[in-house]
């Protein structure tokens, strides 16, 4: 393995993944189509989201992850789909990169 490849892999793991298992709303940035998923985990740079439909790679979506605490707002982002994996039973697991966080 080349040194740059090793460094790139290590940099991707600089953020701890946090288990979330919370409903998330996704809105297609191009069409405005809205649907629900389940955010399985969250890191500083991305999320894993389980959905009921195939989602094309490189698509951009606005997301809203509700807060369980009234003192904190929902976590709203724009994400880019980097992979969509069929996990069976008509379910797909998205790997998404967080492009921006909305205030």
Residue 93 confidence (pLDDT): 98
Please give the distance of CA 21 from its chain centroid, rounded to a whole number.
12
Residue 49 confidence (pLDDT): 97
The domain made up of 16-102 is a member of CATH 3.30.470.10 = no
Q: Which of 66, 87, 62, 95 is nearest to 77 (CA)?
A: 62
**Is the pLDDT assigned to residue 30 strictly greater than 90?**
yes
Mean of all residue pLDDT scores within the chain: 87
17 compared with 93, residue with greater pLDDT: 93
Helix (H) or strand (E) holding 8: helix 3-12
Instruction: Note whether 59 and 43 are within 8 A (CB).
Output: no
Q: pLDDT for 67-78, tens place per residue?
A: 888 888 999 999
Domain range list for the chain = 16-102
Residue 18 confidence (pLDDT): 84
């Amino acid at each position: 393995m080349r040194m740059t490849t090793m460094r790139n892999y290590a940099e991707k793991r600089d953020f701890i993944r946090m288990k979330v298992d919370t409903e998330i709303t996704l809105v297609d940035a191009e069409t405005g189509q809205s649907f629900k998923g389940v955010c399985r985990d969250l890191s500083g740079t991305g999320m894993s989201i389980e959905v009921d439909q195939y989602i094309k790679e490189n698509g951009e979506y606005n997301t809203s992850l509700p807060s369980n605490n009234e003192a904190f707002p929902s976590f709203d982002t724009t994400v880019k789909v980097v992979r969509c994996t069929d996990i069976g039973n008509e379910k797909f697991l998205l790997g998404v990169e967080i492009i921006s966080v909305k205030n």
